[in-house]
Amino acid sequence: MKCVSKSCIVNYFNEPLSDYVADKKRYSNRLTNLLIKISLTESAEGGSRILREKHIEVSPDKLLQLSKEYEPQIDKSKVINIGVDDFSLKKNISMKLFL
């Protein structure tokens, strides 16, 4: 923005938009949250098609990138049980579970 007052020392100024857009990012925070939700619940190609219907052009590669960068906020003190996945059983990896 430009200050039009003659007494203004600073001619050009801006305001931080950190509430809406993260630094050096192309998407708003709200759009990024939507893309992450889509990328975690749909396949990359399917998510891209769903977003295209909403007039949001995002490549499947970008959805994969967002899903890989996502770090869930988990309160580890509230975790009571954990499950053993099928892959560890197939690979004959044993785990001790403490209940």
Domain count for the chain, please give it: 1
Quote the percentage of the chain above a pLDDT of 70. Answer: 80
Q: Whole-angstrom Cα distance, residue 89 to residue 73?
A: 27
Rounded Cα distance, 58 and 42, in Å: 14
pLDDT of 98 reads 44
Tell whether 43 is covered by a domain: yes
Choose between 31 and 1: higher pLDDT.
31
Q: Which domain holds residue 58?
A: 9-72
Distance CA 82, CA 20 (A): 36
- The secondary structure of 10-34 as a DSSP string is -SB-----TTTB-TT-SSBHHHHHH
Whether 99 maps to a domain, the answer reads no
For 4-42, write each residue's pLDDT tens digit. 777 777 777 667 777 788 777 788 889 999 999 999 999
Q: What is the mean pLDDT of the chain?
A: 81
